[in-house]
Amino acid sequence: MPELNCSLAALVMTANTVFSDRRCPEIAMMCGMNISWLLANATERDVREMCLSEEQYLTLQLGPVKSPCFLPVCITYLLIFMVGVLGNSLTCAVILRYKVMQTPTNYYLLSLAISDLLVLLLGMPLELYEMQQNYPFLLGTGGCYFKIFLFETVCFASILNVTALSVERYIAVVHPLKVKYLATRAHVKRVILVLWGLSMLCAVPNASLHGIVVVPPRFGREFPQSATCSLVKPPWMYNLIILISTIVFFALPLLIISILYLLIGLQLHREKVRNMAGANGSLGPDSLSKSHNQRLSKRNLQVTKMLCVLVIVFSLCWAPFHVDRLMWSYITSKQHQMIYEKVHIISGVCFYLSSAVNPILYNLMSTRFRERFGHITCHAKGCPARSHFKMNQRNTLNEEVQNSKNWTKRETLN
């Protein structure tokens, strides 16, 4: 096909033949445009854009259909997906299958694992789809709402679960007498349901600001293929919501968590000093009680270390996500836009990595999780026997502790 002569003079001289000819070239935007408006109001920019095909014009306005970083990001996401889905599925299976693992702390970890699975199974495919085809967004307004609502909900639910988990650890270590009333399974289940309900409620405002946006009509033509899931309300509303959510659902919880773990660390240090001072006590029921307290303190220390590392990794992975959102709210120039694109890729990798790393931490730092993971995944003949032996050891130990308590109680009554 011969190249089009797109000068304004050529348009004036050949208007009738170019725009009335049935052979009007489909690759050019001039097909079907309002020629009378063009000849009366055309600028040099209009003339240049007029000769672009629709695909070229949309690329000029929205960027390429497929992200240039799609392949490396896709490979990275798939690796995270496989590790995360397997690890979080094992975490859910371990907690639901073994009665001994159904503790208040582990119920919060179960809720966190469910949140991570939702991110990996629903959120990641949606993001990969958008990177492979930035436009048009084919899921409609409902799909756009769902995407924003899902990401907001799991974002809020994750940080609320981690905060509630830290509060539970604080009560268990610093106020152990209140655990009986404040950390029961029924109470924890109610708290988790409230946290998820609150997360869904707080996700509505941001989701309601988004919808389907298309490139405005140009030269009398419309561009339905330019549909994207984008902001449809005034930007100041979005900026305010993002700022509030960053403070309320990231900065403030991390401050609270830091204070709680500082208090927990001080309490564990005091217990360690007290146990060392009483290590040379006499034999008898008191020695059994001291031995039990030492084991309990050691257990609290192991769980607290694991959760402390979990919180640190969680905050490091989620910080780029919130920086990404704030940058998107306040970028003002093309230079900032280029920086934002790089931050967006890094934040996406960190965001999904946070959903895959937790089961790895459980396996590395928790004896109970490591043992149960091995029991589920191991198919060798000796594995179940060893696991069963360890469980019997714990049951025997619990019986000894209970006997020591009964002995102490009888001595007190006498």
Residue 98 to residues 106, 251, 295, 380: CA-CA distances in angstroms? 11, 35, 22, 20
Q: Is residue 323 part of a domain?
A: yes
* Predicted local distance difference test score (pLDDT) of residue 51: 67
The one-letter code for the residue type at 130 is E
H/E stretch holding 56 reads helix 54-62
* Residue 267 and residue 332 share a domain: yes
Q: Is 43 in the same domain as 178?
A: no
Burial of residue 160, with CB atoms counted within 10 A of its CB: 0-12 exposed, 13-18 middle, 19 or more buried: buried
- Within a domain: 65: no
44 and 140 in a common domain: no
- My answer on whether 85 and 19 are in the same domain is no
C-alpha–C-alpha distance, residues 100 and 238, integer Å = 45
Q: Are residues 226 and 290 in the same domain?
A: yes
Does some domain include residue 410?
A: no
Both 116 and 16 in one domain: the answer is no
For residue 26, report the phi and psi dihedrals to the nearest 5 degrees.
-70, -20
Same domain for 48 and 93, yes or no, is: no
| pLDDT tier, 111 (very low <50, low <70, confident <90, very high otherwise) | very high
* Residues 302-315: tens digit of each pLDDT: 667 777 787 888 88
The percent of residues above 90 in pLDDT, for the chain, comes to: 15
| HSE-CB of 364 using CA atoms within 13 angstroms | 10
In a domain, 217, yes or no: yes
If asked whether residues 298 and 355 sit together in one domain, one would say yes
pLDDT tens by residue, 333-367: 555 556 667 777 888 888 898 888 888 887 777 77
189 pLDDT above the threshold of 50: yes
pLDDT (tens digit per residue) in 89-104: 999 998 898 888 888 8
Does residue 1 surpass a pLDDT of 50? no
How many Å apart are CA 87 and CA 100, to the nearest integer?
19
Token representation of residue 48: 């240049």
Q: Is residue 382 part of a domain?
A: no
Query: Is the model more confident about 82 or about 134?
Result: 82
**H runs (alpha helix) in 65-175:** 70-97, 104-118, 124-132, 140-174
Supply the pTM of this predicted model: 0.75
Residue bearing the bigger pLDDT, 414 or 254: 254
pLDDT at res. 339: 67
The domain containing residue 133 runs over which residues?
70-372+394-404
Average the pLDDT over 17-33 and give the result. Answer: 46
- For residues 320-336, give the mean pLDDT: 71
| 173 vs 192 pLDDT, higher one | 192
206 and 249 assigned to the same domain: yes
Instruction: Tell me if residue 270 falls in helix, strand or coil.
Output: helix
Q: Give the number of domains in the chain.
A: 2
pLDDT of amino acid 41: 62
Q: Is 239 found in the same domain as 206?
A: yes
Q: Domain for residue 64, yes or no?
A: no
Q: Report the CATH number at residue 76.
A: 1.20.1070.10
Integer CA distances (angstroms), 207 to 106, 121, 393, in order: 31, 20, 52
Q: Could you tell me if 179 and 302 lie in one domain?
A: yes
CB of 371 closer than 8 Å to CB of 387: yes
Same domain, yes or no: 99 and 206: yes
In this predicted model, which residue has the larger pLDDT, 335 or 155? 155
Q: What is the mean pLDDT of residues 85-91?
A: 91
Q: Binning pLDDT at 50, 70 and 90, where does residue 42 land?
A: low
Q: What is the mean pLDDT of the chain?
A: 75
